[in-house]
Amino acid sequence: MSIDKPADREPGFSTLAIHAGAAPDPSTGARVTPVYQTTSYVFNNVDHAAALFNLEVFGNIYSRIGNPTQAVLEQRVAALEGGTAALAVASGHAAQAVVFQTLMQPGDEFVAGRQLYGGSVNQFNHAFKTFDWKVVWADSTKPETFLEAISPKTKAIFCESIANPGGIVVDLPAISAVAKQAGVPLIVDNTLATPYLCRPKDFGADIVVHSLTKFMGGHGNSIGGAIVDCGSYDWLSAKKNYPALQDPNPSYNGIRMAETFGNFAFALAARVLGLRDLGPAISPFNAFLILTGIETLPLRMAKHCENALAVASHLAGHPRVAWVNYAGLPSNPYHALANKICPRGAGSVFTFGLKGGYEAGVQLVSNVQLISHLANIGDVRSLIIHPASTTHRQLTDEQRAAAGAGDDVVRLSVGLEDVDDIVADLDQALAAR
């Protein structure tokens, strides 16, 4: 990090959100990180080029593998999550693909909590099958089901810190204990919480992934993903075999990543193997926009949580609403866990059920005016969707119910508008049915 600090003092979250990884541009003095819109970089000489390609020194080669704007974003996300290193990629889905490509071999399995974003369910069930990677589903509300799903082929455990769309706060320490017992890394998708509300590393996560498209960027204008290496998993003494980390790599003169790069070996392997070969590079301009969004992350998340609690409280008393699932409500079964895992607030996304079922959900999202009906979350604007007719429509009825996306379910991502205006729009849309 480029900011000066006393040896005995760590900068606060807001300071890191603004300054981590950044410094004035050395050639122009520009204070804001520039957009380095270039494909490639000039080597100092032949020896310098050889050292870069051999991973003997770090630097820029080609923007598919790394870019200076991207590097500042990576350092900032790593600092906020408390990780040793990070890798920014083109999307949250790309982050998951690169993580598992680094960990898995054909025939391997991983265990995932079934309360997940519908796109992740599809990716795990279908796209990953083409790589001969098998997902085994557990219940994120019951940590013991993760242990029951472990087999000799298991290479990782995956869950979300706050599950999308259900808004369930997950017991990360309990699932981490299962991962440690099984000798596999715990991967946590921290998209809904962001490191402002929850830092999964503090609860036993080894790898953290983000869709930066959502709250981290925060303005609905750019797509990106991130992988954070928490530096906590000992790849050298792992019970399982992770060839990308442990075996001599023929494309880098036999380097063993874990042996050579220690507690940031996973992030480096994901970059120089997964990102290099699969190619889901983030654009410099998207990295720039997300960096700008992160500068206001703590302010936005605090207001998101304040508004979400007020809206959820209102809906809980509405005559056309059957139930509200928001962990910020004292009556919610996850409220105590939310206070432990996310003490600054339970997030901005929650679900509620309508007494009219599927048709009522479709009518509600069709009648909102201020709130936008679209397939995203984490915007400064309030967003709404009926998962059963959109994001989760490819799933069976049973899968939708298990994911918290039944026919009556509506997902709301509460934005930063005046809360009275959000409530008024919901009231008129519910009355218009």
Please write the tens of the pLDDT for every residue from 279-332: 999 999 999 999 999 999 999 999 999 999 999 999 999 999 999 999 999 999
Note the pLDDT of residue 6: 52
CB 400 within 8 A of CB 390: no
Under a CB-based contact definition with an 8 Å cutoff, are residues 394 and 403 in contact?
no
Place of tokens 């910020």: 328
For the segment 231-238, the average pLDDT, to the nearest whole number, is 96
The encoded tokens of residue 377 equal 């979350």
Give the H/E segment covering residue 29. none
Percent of the chain with pLDDT over 90: 88
Q: Is the pLDDT of residue 158 over 80?
A: yes
DSSP for residue 224: -
Q: What is the mean pLDDT of residues 109-122?
A: 92
Rounded Cα distance between 90 and 281, Å, is 5
pLDDT value for 349:
95
Please say if the pLDDT value at position 402 is more than 80.
no
126-140: average pLDDT: 97
The confidence score (pLDDT) of residue 393 equals: 73
Q: Specify which residues 58 forms β-bridges with.
A: none
Where in the sequence of the chain do the CATH 3.40.640.10 domains occur? 13-293
Question: Which pLDDT value is given to residue 55?
Answer: 96
Task: Give yes or no for residue 200 having a pLDDT over 80.
Answer: yes
pLDDT at 12 exceeding the cut of 80: yes
Written as one string, the DSSP assignment of 267-325 is HHHIIIIIIHHH--PPPHHHHHHHHHHHTTHHHHHHHHHHHHHHHHHHHHT-TTEEEEE
Q: HSE on the CB side for 218, CA within 13 Å?
A: 23
For the chain, give every residue range classified as CATH 3.90.1150.10.
298-431
Over 50: is that where the pLDDT of 209 sits?
A: yes
Mean pLDDT is lowest, of 98-112, 115-129, 217-231, for 115-129
Burial track 205-238 (b if 16+ CB lie within 10 A, e otherwise): bbbbbbbbbbbbbbebebbbbbbbbbbbbebeeb
Residue 399 pLDDT > 80, yes or no?
no
Round to whole Å and give the CA distance between 281 and 97.
Answer: 12
Mean model confidence pLDDT for the chain: 95
Work out the average pLDDT over 214-228: 97
CA 351 to centroid of chain Cα atoms: 19
For residue 400, the surrounding DSSP H or E stretch is helix 397-402
How wide is the angle at C-alpha 284 spanned by C-alphas 42 and 207, nearest 5°? 105
Residue 397: the pLDDT is 79
Q: Which pLDDT score is estimated for 406?
A: 84
CA distance 374 to 391: 10
> What's the CA gap between 360 and 342, in Å, rounded?
32
- What distance in Å separates the CA atoms of residue 22 and residue 155, rounded to the nearest whole number? 35
- Pick 9 or 76 by higher pLDDT: 76
Question: How many CA atoms, within 13 angstroms, populate the side-chain half-sphere of residue 367?
Answer: 16
Residue 431 in this model has a pLDDT that exceeds 60: yes
Model-level pTM? Answer: 0.94
Residues 417-426: what's their mean pLDDT? 98
Which tokens go with 313?
């409280």
So what's the pLDDT on residue 1?
43
**pLDDT (0 to 100) of residue 165:** 75
Residue 350 bridge partners (DSSP): 412
The average pLDDT across 66-73 equals: 98
Whether the predicted pLDDT of 43 surpasses 60: yes
Architecture label for domain 13-293: 3-Layer(aba) Sandwich (3.40)
What CATH superfamily classification does 298-431 receive? Aspartate Aminotransferase, domain 1 (3.90.1150.10)
